Amino acid sequence: MENRRVRLRFAPSPTGGLHMGGVRTALFSYLFAKKHKGDFILRIEDTDQTRYVNGAEEYIINALKWCGIEPNEGVGFGDGPHAPYRQSERKELGIYAKYAQKLIDSGHAYYAFDTTEEVDEMRKRLEAAKVASQYNAVTRQTMRNSTTLSEDEVKKLMDAGTPYVVRLKVPRNEEIRFHDIIRGWVVVNSAQVDDKVLLKSDGMPTYHLAHIVDDIEMEVSHAVRGEEWLPSAPSHVLIYRYLGMEDKMPLLAHLPLILKPDGNGKLSKRDKSGIPMFPLDWYDERTGEKYAGYRETGFFPEAFINMLSMLGWNPGTTQEIFSLDELVEAFSFERVNKSGAKFDPEKTKWFNQQYLRKKTDAELAVLFTPILKEHNITADPAFVENVCHLVKEKAHFVSEFWKDASYFFIAPTAYDPEVIKKRWNEQSAGFIKAVTEAYKNLGTFTAAETEATFKATAEAQGIGAGQVMQLFRVCLSGVGGGPMLFEMVELLGKDEVIARLEKAVDSIK
Ligand code: GLU
């Protein structure tokens, strides 16, 4: 195991849009693979055809691309030495049946002919008796399978084409021990483990068999997945053992759950915190439900990834902002917690804000310009950059720029009535007129000069600058809050400022 090449796979089932928990699994796998100069593989686990959802596979590929955590091998990423990487296609290679046969031949798996109704009835009977309702070492003795039927009977049923499944023969009372990199040693008694179906009646392997065969064949070194898979790990350990391939078993890492913001239970994809649960917009064509994506909501992929990295992992320092390269450098499974990680919507926005502030004005202008176009605004690129410079401090998203700063492009037609009611009177109106006149005489129109003139005029009028500051802002922008006032004045420019002040004096009654 020590000398194995590091190869991690992300193995989603295309049963819907990939939610952020899935992206975190992919991210941690990616980080570990890159850190150890290994491979990151995308395998599509589509053996359950009844749950197949159109578009899901494409969605997964696009989501990984947007996040910048691209596999170097697998579906959508140029395949590789172990193609195909879709289980439905791998079935055609006959590998799943071959491994199942090996288990049957060594007496560790068996044929079960029970109908769904018969299995249901068994479960009901056991539930009524208040015992674990599992198909296992005890109950299998009451069912129709190759452990209870004679060879002849089995042959007859097979010849008659009776549908059957292949089940794992789990021992009745044996200790199963395995190591998880995050959780340490886990010990389970086989009495808790059911005889999992390995091959379904349509010949398709179940997840349990298929992922093991593929992990072996693809030489996967570490299997990283959500905590919900921990209960089936003992069955998987048995399968490796019975195949005589324990040395091929990947190291296991079961990631902690992502919890609701209040810590009460698992985060749902229908969470109502207002923060998306999916990387990209997702439309579920079966249910007609629409889910907002981080991308479309205006999150930067770097911010999304950084936020996700902190859900369950910590660097052991107070550093919170990590680029993807820094994450690769810092990441280890030893620093992933066992206990659930609370999702924090405010912190998620905070991460985006940090990345927004890191962007240059020019980068932000590129993102803001299409929004301006939507509002039929064409403006001088340098002016747009300057607006971005002023509004970026307070915003979390570029999409907020228009709401916060449309007045840079369109003069106000309404003035915050609260401020007007409180501050507009003969004296303050007189001040606005006076400052307008004073501005007309200014040669250059910088923030410093306009501020000095503003203060001098206030003093000359015997009025406190603080009393007219917000009113002055409202006359210029229509709203009571915004960026640094005189920076805004400088950017609007002399002619525009004078025109807006004159218009305000005429309009406000
Ligand atoms: N197909 C499984 C899933 O959808 C993969 C679990 C695993 O990584 O083994 O989560």
How does pLDDT run across 78-87, given as a tens digit for each residue?
999 999 999 9
pLDDT, average across residues 169-175: 97
Residue 422 in tokens: 């409180």
| Gyration radius of the chain over CA positions | 32
Region 5-16 average pLDDT: 97
pLDDT at 177: 97
Q: Determine the residue of 196, 229, 239 to mutate for testing ligand 1's pocket, defined as the one with the most ligand atoms within 8 A of the Cβ atom.
A: 229
Cα(281) to centroid(ligand 1), Å: 22
CA–CA gap between residue 254 and residue 182 (Å, rounded): 7
What is the length of the chain? 509
430-434 long-range Cβ contacts below 8 angstroms, 24+ apart: 430/461, 431/457, 431/458, 431/461, 431/463, 431/468, 432/468, 432/471, 432/472, 432/475, 432/501, 432/504, 432/505, 433/505, 434/460, 434/461
Give the pLDDT score at 1: 53
pLDDT band with cut points at 50, 70 and 90 for residue 509: confident
| Coil/strand/helix, residue 114 | coil
Count Cβ atoms below 10 Å from residue 491 Cβ, excluding itself.
19
Is residue 222 within 6 Å of ligand 1 at its C-beta?
A: no
Beta pairing partners, 116 = none
C-alpha 214/C-alpha 210 separation (Å) is: 6
Atom of ligand 1 nearest to the CA of 45: 1
The tokens for 1 are 């195991």
Pairing mode, strands 165-168 and 109-112? antiparallel
**Binding site membership of 223 for ligand 1 (Cβ less than 6 Å):** yes
Whether 236 is in the pocket of ligand 1, judged by its Cβ within 6 Å, is: no
Mean pLDDT of all residues in 142-164: 98
Count the neighbouring beta carbons within 10 Å of the beta carbon of residue 98: 10
Question: What is the atom index within ligand 1 of the atom nearest the CA of 229?
Answer: 6
Q: Is 211 in the pocket of ligand 1 (CB under 6 A)?
A: yes
Average pLDDT over residues 265-285: 94
Nearest CA to ligand 1 atom 7: 225
Residue 228 Cα: closest atom of ligand 1: 10
CA of 3 to the centre of ligand 1 (A): 25
- Residue 374's SS3 state is helix
Ligand 1: residue whose CA is nearest its atom 8: 225
| 218, 82 contact by CB (below 8 A) | yes
Mean pLDDT score of the chain: 96
Close Cβ partners of 215 (under 8 Å, ≥ 6 residues apart): 9, 223, 248, 249, 250
Q: Label residues 142-165 b or e (16+ Cβ within 10 Å = b).
A: ebbbbbebeeeebeebeeeeeebb
- Kindly list the catalytic residues: 269
Helix (H, G, I), strand (E, B) or coil at 218: coil
> Under a CB-based contact definition with an 8 Å cutoff, are residues 255 and 224 in contact?
yes
Positive or negative: CA dihedral 447, 448, 449, 453: positive
Query: Cα angle at 462 between 457 and 463, to 5 degrees?
Result: 80
Q: What is the DSSP letter of 418?
A: H
Predicted local confidence at residue 194, as pLDDT: 97
**Residue 12: CB within 6 Å of ligand 1?**
yes
Instruction: Pick the more confident residue, 273 or 85.
Output: 85
Q: In angstroms, rounded to a whole number, what is the distance separating the alpha carbons of residues 463 and 431?
A: 8
Q: How far, in Å, CA of 126 to CA of 124, rounded?
A: 5
3-state helix, strand, coil in the chain (%, to 5): 50, 10, 40
Instruction: Please name the residue that has the structure tokens 């049946």.
Output: 97
In sequence order, what are the residues at sequence separation of 6 or more whose Cβ sits closer than 8 angstroms to the Cβ of residue 505? 429, 432, 433, 436, 475
Condensed to tens digits (0 to 9), the pLDDT of residues 105-136 reads 999 999 999 999 999 999 999 999 988 889 99
| Among 20, 21, 27, residue whose Cα is nearest residue 10 | 27
Instruction: State the Cα–Cα distance between residues 186 and 176, nearest whole angstrom.
Output: 8
Give me the mean pLDDT over the 424-441 stretch. 97
Ligand 1 nearest-atom number relative to CA 207: 1
pLDDT tens for each residue of 460-481: 999 999 999 999 999 999 999 9
Give pLDDT tens digits for 212-228: 999 999 999 999 999 99
Helices (H), ranges, 316-425: 324-330, 345-358, 361-374, 381-391, 400-405, 417-423
Instruction: Pick the more confident residue, 151 or 4.
Output: 151
Q: Give the ligand 1 atom nearest the CA of 215.
A: 9
Q: Compute the distance between CA of residue 257 and CA of residue 340 in angstroms, rounded to an integer.
A: 5
| Ligand 1 centre distance from Cα of residue 25 (Å) | 10
pLDDT at 344 over 70: yes
- Counting from 1 in the atom list of ligand 1, the atom nearest the Cα of 226 is 10
Helices (runs of H) and strands (runs of E) counted in the chain: 21, 14
d(Cα 216, Cα 409) in Å, to the nearest integer?
Answer: 61
Assess whether the C-beta atom of 57 lies below 6 angstroms from ligand 1: no
Omega within 30 of 0 (cis) for the link into 84 = yes
pLDDT for the residue numbered 175: 97
Q: Is the pLDDT of residue 250 over 70?
A: yes
Asked whether the predicted pLDDT for residue 281 surpasses 90, the reply is yes
455 pLDDT higher than 60: yes
116 phi, psi to nearest 5 deg: -55, -40
Report whether residue 22 contacts ligand 1, using a CB cutoff of 6 Å. no
Residue whose CA is at the smallest distance from ligand 1 atom 10:
12
The Cα–Cα gap between 214 and 220 comes to 8
Q: Percent of the chain at pLDDT above 90?
A: 95
Per-residue model confidence (pLDDT) at position 285: 87
Cβ-contact 199, 205 below 8 angstroms: yes
- HSE-CB at 211 with a 13 A cutoff on CA atoms is 28
What single DSSP character describes residue 460? H
Is the separation of the CB atoms in 82 and 40 below 8 Å?
Answer: no
CB 47 near ligand 1, within 6 Å: no
Task: For a ligand 1 pocket test, name from 7, 9, 10, 13 the mutation site with the most ligand atoms within 8 angstroms of its C-beta.
Answer: 13
Asked if the model's pLDDT at residue 2 lies above 70, the reply is no
Structure confidence at residue 3 (pLDDT): 77
CA of residue 223 to ligand 1 center, whole Å: 9
pLDDT tens digits along 351-397? 999 999 999 999 999 999 999 999 999 999 999 999 999 999 999 99
CA separation for the pair 434, 446 (Å, rounded): 18
CA pair distance 383, 386, nearest whole angstrom = 5
Is residue 301 within a helix (H) or strand (E), and if so which, with residue range? Answer: helix 301-309
Q: What is the pLDDT at residue 232?
A: 97
